[in-house]
């Protein structure tokens, strides 16, 4: 396994639409392993392929707490096939927008269809934080970041903080 290079805002690859995967073969499984390792290395709860510069419809998610056993989901060609009417506001962050967080509105629960690590079709009813993670990661596959879903004013403030933080880090 290997930790892959992470692309951060405003890299253009993050704005592109990812393509469907033809089949889940050994090369794809190796990529899934690398994605998971990359996500764990940065203590993330989700990672989408465009964040490592690969425009394929692939995400990994693990929302297990630190004191719980890891519970990774590998999702190839994921698709939301049902959304709850109810929505919820929760704080989100993203490895591609480091050290920033903002409140985003999402569906409370979603049903997602995808191919798993073995290439088998799966359906998952995601609720709570997992539902938020699924929506956040699937957005990445369509070139959407969570900061695209907050008000312009909040986005400007957040991006200013991001820039300030980067400058500070550059001077360290």
Rounded to the nearest whole angstrom, what is the least distance from the CB of residue 141 to Ni ion in the complex?
11
Cα dihedral value 161, 166, 168, 171, nearest 10: -160
Q: How far apart are CA 145 and CA 7, in angstroms?
A: 12
Give Rg (Cα) of the chain: 16
* Catalytic one of 68, 127, 137, 168: 137
Map residues 84-103 to x or -, x wherever contact with Ni ion holds by CB under 5 A. ----------x---------
State which residue, 93 or 157, has the beta carbon closest to Ni ion: 93
Q: Record the tokens describing residue 137, joined without a space.
A: 């990661």
Nearest to 144 by CA among 135, 153, 152: 135
Rounded to the nearest whole angstrom, what is the least distance from the CB of residue 48 to Ni ion in the complex?
7
Q: Does 60 bind Ni ion (CB under 5 A)?
A: no
Rounded to the nearest whole angstrom, what is the least distance from the CB of residue 158 to Ni ion in the complex?
14
Cα dihedral value 74, 127, 158, 9, nearest 10: 20
For the question of residue 163 being annotated catalytic, the response is no
Q: Does 132 bind Ni ion (CB under 5 A)?
A: no
Task: List residues binding Ni ion (CB under 5 A).
Answer: 94
Annotated active-site positions, please? Answer: 137
């Amino acid at each position: 396994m290997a930790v892959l290079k992470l692309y951060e805002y405003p890299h253009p690859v993050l704005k592109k639409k990812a393509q469907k995967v033809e089949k889940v073969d050994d090369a794809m499984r190796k990529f899934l392993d690398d994605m998971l390792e990359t996500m764990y290395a940065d203590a993330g709860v989700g990672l989408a392929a465009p964040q490592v510069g690969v425009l394929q419809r692939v995400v990994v998610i693990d929302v297990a707490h630190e004191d719980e056993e890891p519970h990774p989901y590998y999702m190839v060609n994921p698709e939301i096939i049902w959304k709850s009417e109810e929505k919820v506001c929760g704080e989100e962050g993203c490895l591609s927008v480091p050290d920033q967080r903002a409140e985003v509105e999402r569906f409370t629960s979603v049903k997602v269809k995808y191919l798993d690590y073995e290439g088998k079709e799966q359906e998952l009813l995601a609720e709570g934080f997992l539902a938020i993670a699924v929506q956040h990661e699937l957005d990445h596959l369509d070139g959407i970041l969570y900061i695209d879903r907050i008000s312009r004013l909040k986005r400007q403030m957040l991006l200013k903080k991001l820039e300030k933080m980067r400058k500070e880090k550059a001077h360290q």
